[in-house]
Amino acid sequence: MAFENADTEETLTCLHMTLYHPNQEEKQVFRDLSFGQSQRVRADDVIKFGRDSSACHFNLTDGRVSRIQFAVQFFRLFNSSEFGFEIKNLSKKVTLTVNKVELPYLSKVDLPESSIICFGDYEILMERRQGKSEDYFDVRFELARASLLLDSLLHQPIPESGISSPTEVDEDE
């Protein structure tokens, strides 16, 4: 039987990115990206994002984005079978933050399983979905209809004691 001799297909780690820009409808800043379909990338490729389509894998059509804004690289965690991604800021002019922590020019950091990347008016939720293949990974884009930062604030857990408000104390008491 043919299926008995077929190679088992390895699952690919996926970098799932949900993108938001407040003027995405008018400016069409994401028009060069393919939404809703996975794009296979070689494991040794460093993927770059920016406005220079000749230097970047993924182009953002916006004059306020740096020629090369940032790069993402796939790697295997040391002494582990798990894979991860690291992000490197390649812009001297535009501040890049990862989970609200500023990443200076040429600095890099490992991405946690889920993180929000911000620069200019852009917000990107990057989520890693673990796979087994060490040869390729997938990149998948989704468009957010509302701000990811506002959405994450709205979904923060409320303390069990309820919402507390500061109470005024008279200094003479």
Q: Where are the domains of the chain?
A: 10-154
For 53, 80, 119, 159, the CA distances from 100, given in Å and listed in that order, are 28, 28, 10, 22
Q: What is the 3-state composition of the chain as percent helix, strand, coil, each rounded to the nearest 5?
A: 10, 40, 55
Amino acid making up residue 148: L
- Give the three-state DSSP class for 51: coil
CA dihedral 44, 79, 13, 97 (to 10 degrees): -80
pLDDT tens for residues 103-150? 999 999 999 999 999 999 999 999 999 999 899 999 999 999 999 987
pTM exceeds 0.85: no
pLDDT tens for residues 25-69? 899 999 999 998 999 999 999 999 999 999 999 999 999 999 999
- Identify which of 50, 52, 101 has the alpha carbon closest to the alpha carbon of residue 72: 50
CATH topology of domain 10-154: Tumour Suppressor Smad4 (2.60.200)
The band of 164, judged by pLDDT with boundaries at 50, 70 and 90, is very low
144 alpha carbon, distance to own chain's centre: 13
Whether the predicted pLDDT of 159 surpasses 90: no
Q: Give the mean model confidence (pLDDT) for residues 5-15.
A: 74
Going 87 to 88 to 93 to 96, the CA torsion angle's sign is positive
